[in-house]
Structure 1
Amino acid sequence: MARAAQPPATIELAQVLDRGTTRAVALWLEVVPDPVEREEQIAALTPEHLRVLDGLLDAETGEELVSTLDPLAAGELLIGIGVPTAGLILNELNTDLAADILRELPPDDRETLLSAVPADQALVLRGLLSWPEHSSAAHMIPDVLTVEAQSTAAAAIDSVRSGAAHLRADSQSGGYVYVVDGNGRLGGVVAFRALVLAPADALVADLMDDDVLAVSPLDDPEKSARLLLDHRLLAIPVVDGERRILGIITADAAADIAEEEATEDAERQGGSQPLDVPYLRASPWLLWRKRVVWLLVLFVAEAYTSSVLQAFEDELEAVVVLAFFIPLLIGTGGNTGTQITSTLVRAMATGQVRLRNIGRVVVKELSTAGLIAVAMAGAGLIRAFTLGVGWQIMLVVSLSLAAIVLWAALIASILPLLLQKTRVDPAVVSAPMIATIVDGTGLLIYFLIAKALLPELAGL
């Protein structure tokens, strides 16, 4: 039997640089396509190797390498090599990616690299960097093709052709031509295809769609990306207060924004602040800073659970067997709430659910929780029976499980929507906080039901 072909061994960049040829660097890029592995090998380079790499990178290989790296790693690489080469590579990158990389650098390093970029491109990059990082304008491409409404299709095509000749190769105009008035205010949009296929004497005003979606420069980028993706657009214009076009957000940029926001939401749902750097580059100190504050908040919030246990100390002493089921009960409540918030927060992030839907959400989740409560109550009944605790304790455990499941569902259905209304990110208080709230309140439910049903606790 023929042996299966073995994958080629990984080539170390340091060994490639020792050969000192541009062809060797190009070969390394082919053999090592994984961005993470590239970052790790680049991070291991000595200053001497970086100087060698500086002499071997050209515009093509430099652009291919830097565009696959995390912006922070890409910025560190550009600072580590010579300024002329870094400027050459930076000028070859997509404008939005170049801005993302520069935004990660200290101001002095940023200015050093900008000084090596052609003046016109440096002006564009400075314009993008002037906007807040978490704004729609920070993710836009400034190059936009525009025509006037009273132009004929033939004149508009000539204008687009002339304008396109001055666009960068990475402009990604999005397949649209935007229609403006004499003051540059957005009036409509027409697709390239419609413009090209129209009769030469047709007016742009008759071809355009004047119901054009647009976003403001300071809008949340996630909101803008969601608007673009929901309407399946190729691009969406960014306009100022007078509806003058500042740039466009493309579908590619929207996909990147959505992915980044989904990652941040996932981190927040775990009770941690977003890292802002790749995980493997995060130091223990950074991880500690991102996690410890929220853990301390949860610790303080969880402290009332011990107060509840202390308040019902007499009941526990009278019926010690009640303590056997505490982990089971609070664990079930926390798990129920976590399931709901994970689904609900994601639905809110994608615009499927808003505060006005709170009634439908509560009814839906309580209906579901009712069915779950029956199943969990039955499971609790069986578990209590196997421990031989008596029918009264079995009934207390069964009813408590059902009540806690319903209570957890109610809290998890309402809290994220209310937090969003108060402009608090619901992701940061979802799973851990819901579990913490349900822990203490679930114990209250458990002991109150026990006091109501167990004769031993009468009068306590």
Structure 2
Amino acid sequence: MNQKQLLRPRADASVLGAPLAGFNTADAVVYLNHLERERASATLASLPLPRAVKLLEAPELQHAAELVAALPPARAAALLGLMADDRATDIVHELDQDARARLIPLLDPEARRSIQLLLSYPPNTAGALMTTEFVSVPADWTVGQTLQHIREVERNRETVYAIYVLDPDTGQLQQVVTMRRLITGAPDDPILDVAQVNPPVTVGALLDQEEVAQLIRRHDLLAIPVVDAQRQLLGIVTVDDILDALIDESTEDVHKFGGVEALDRPYMQIGFLDMIRKRAGWLSVLFLGEMLTASAMQHYEDALARAVVLTLFIPLIMSSGGNSGSQATSLLIRSLALQELRLRDWWKVAVREVPTGVVLGTILGVLAVIRISVWQLAGLHDYGEHWQLLAVTIGAALVGIVTFGSLSGAMLPFVLKRLGFDPASASAPFVATLVDVTGLVIYFSIAAAILGGTLL
């Protein structure tokens, strides 16, 4: 079978592609996602190339790499060659080694070079996210020449909202011209006359995607050029690509913060054993941590035997400390992610969180004292003859534990970041477990100081 036959839609295209006839791209992607893998691949194979490319380029299409791998090699290579380089690279990256080795040699030379270049950069960097499909022109061109060039190449470029002006001799990036400024210029005007005044904002290929996002947001850009050490233009990172990457990263952080290994697929598509594996590890670690809580309670077994009433407030004490720690952790993780804080700011955060914890703990302590007093005086529960001291104990313990929870919850993301870990790993369950153990020590230490000689 020759290449043209492989690229020709299948004979049953009218049957497989009929349901997609009235769908726009987004609805067609939803339809394909609900099909069994084999039928989805067959449907994709039956569509005209431009239509299939549109569907494969949609980030919402699930299992795109598996669908491509199931296609005839020549057709799969043709689709990859027509796609945006960055999206094609994402799909190739997900292919297994055999499928990758089978498809890459079939790509046209230009697409193969672009994909191999993008594959060489580490994940989550500007180089891995960038596309090599941008519009660039020499600095000695006119506005008219540039507009004519855009008309000729726009179908093969991811975006034409920014035109990159290069030195005609060295190829170095000199300036950026927005489409808005370009169309306001006269045809005979030099292209540099309509370029922006400020030097172009650029990034290196190895810059982390979060820092790229910060620059795009700060300078209100639709795309940011990626250059090498000699200011040669390697590619551009567009705002839609960085948004997709940050959504994936935020989803991963949310999973981590819930004490779960990050899911690489939608919830309903994770197999039972995979779900157990992703949840069991963290759950086991947290369980081992909670065992320290049991050890702490065993240490105070005699005190509990003499003052059983103290056990009534253990859940209240532990949950309050864990909640305050989780609040602080979530705030600090977000601030670190947005680069509102740096590692060197840890002491400023500590100075801020200590009084915050004291005030929050005092509020909860007052509520606890009121609750104990009302229950005692209304006859709802008898806390014994020393109930006033018990109320003071609970109130003071809440101040201490909430303050410790706020401080430890705020410092933990800094510690993890300093050690090279993702601050999002400071999950809410992990913080709660840490505060549970130390909270018991604080609780019984305060109880011993206040109730010594009475209940204890």
Q: TM-score, structure 2 length as denominator?
A: 0.85
CA distance change for structure 1 residues 181 and 440 in 2, over 3 Å: closer, same or farther?
A: farther
CA distance change for structure 1 residues 329 and 206 in 2, over 3 Å: closer, same or farther?
A: same
The answer as to whether partners of 1:143 and 1:167 remain within 8 angstroms in 2 is no
Please tell me whether residue 131 in structure 1 is matched to residue 131 in structure 2: no
Note the 1:162-201 alignment, pairs <5 A.
162=149, 165-166=152-153, 168-180=155-167, 182-198=169-185, 200-201=188-189
Q: Which amino acid aligns with 2:149?
A: S
Please tell me whether residue 236 in structure 1 is matched to residue 233 in structure 2: no
**Corresponding pairs, count:** 436
* CA positional deviation for 1:89: 3.0
Which one of the candidate residues 311, 314, 320 is aligned to 2:308?
320
Q: Hey, what does 2:263 align to over in structure 1?
A: 275
Note the residue ranges of structure 1 that are not aligned, 5 or more in a row: 1-16
* CA positional deviation for 1:322: 1.0
Please tell me whether residue 421 in structure 1 is matched to residue 408 in structure 2: no
Deviation readout 1:130-169 (Å, 9 max, x if unpaired): 22223221110113333455x26x2x65256437634653
Which one of the candidate residues 101, 112, 115 is aligned to 1:111?
101
Q: Hey, what does 2:449 align to over in structure 1?
A: 452
Which one of the candidate residues 12, 15, 25 is aligned to 1:21?
15
Q: Hey, what does 1:75 align to over in structure 2?
A: 65
* CA positional deviation for 1:379: 2.3
The answer as to whether partners of 2:176 and 2:196 remain within 8 angstroms in 1 is yes
The answer as to whether partners of 2:17 and 2:47 remain within 8 angstroms in 1 is no
* CA positional deviation for 1:93: 2.7
* CA positional deviation for 1:186: 2.9
CA distance change for structure 1 residues 424 and 317 in 2, over 3 Å: closer, same or farther?
A: same
Distance 1:37 1:71 in 2: 10
The answer as to whether partners of 1:140 and 1:250 remain within 8 angstroms in 2 is yes
* CA positional deviation for 1:185: 2.6
**Between the two proteins, what is the percent identity of the paired residues?**
31
Distance 1:376 1:289 in 2: 38
Please tell me whether residue 101 in structure 1 is matched to residue 88 in structure 2: no
Greater mean alpha carbon deviation, residues 189-198 or residues 224-233: 189-198
* CA positional deviation for 1:174: 3.9
CA distance change for structure 1 residues 50 and 251 in 2, over 3 Å: closer, same or farther?
A: closer
Q: Which amino acid aligns with 1:450?
A: A
* CA positional deviation for 1:231: 2.1
Which one of the candidate residues 53, 56, 59 is aligned to 2:49?
59
The answer as to whether partners of 2:76 and 2:103 remain within 8 angstroms in 1 is yes
* 3-state SS, counterpart of residue 21 of structure 1: helix
Q: TM-score, structure 1 length as denominator?
A: 0.84
* 3-state SS, counterpart of residue 246 of structure 1: strand
Q: Hey, what does 2:211 align to over in structure 1?
A: 223
CA distance change for structure 1 residues 119 and 449 in 2, over 3 Å: closer, same or farther?
A: same
* CA positional deviation for 1:345: 1.0
Q: Which amino acid aligns with 1:255?
A: L
* CA positional deviation for 1:425: 0.9
* CA positional deviation for 1:34: 7.2
The answer as to whether partners of 2:20 and 2:28 remain within 8 angstroms in 1 is no
CA distance change for structure 1 residues 168 and 61 in 2, over 3 Å: closer, same or farther?
A: closer
* CA positional deviation for 1:456: 3.9
Distance 1:448 1:39 in 2: 58
Please tell me whether residue 40 in structure 1 is matched to residue 34 in structure 2: yes
CA distance change for structure 1 residues 146 and 32 in 2, over 3 Å: closer, same or farther?
A: closer
The answer as to whether partners of 1:384 and 1:397 remain within 8 angstroms in 2 is no
* CA positional deviation for 1:37: 5.3
The answer as to whether partners of 2:13 and 2:47 remain within 8 angstroms in 1 is no
Please tell me whether residue 146 in structure 1 is matched to residue 146 in structure 2: no
* CA positional deviation for 1:445: 0.8
Please tell me whether residue 85 in structure 1 is matched to residue 79 in structure 2: no
Which one of the candidate residues 319, 324, 331 is aligned to 2:319?
331
The answer as to whether partners of 1:189 and 1:212 remain within 8 angstroms in 2 is yes
The answer as to whether partners of 2:137 and 2:146 remain within 8 angstroms in 1 is yes
CA distance change for structure 1 residues 188 and 96 in 2, over 3 Å: closer, same or farther?
A: same
Cα-Cα RMSD: 3.0
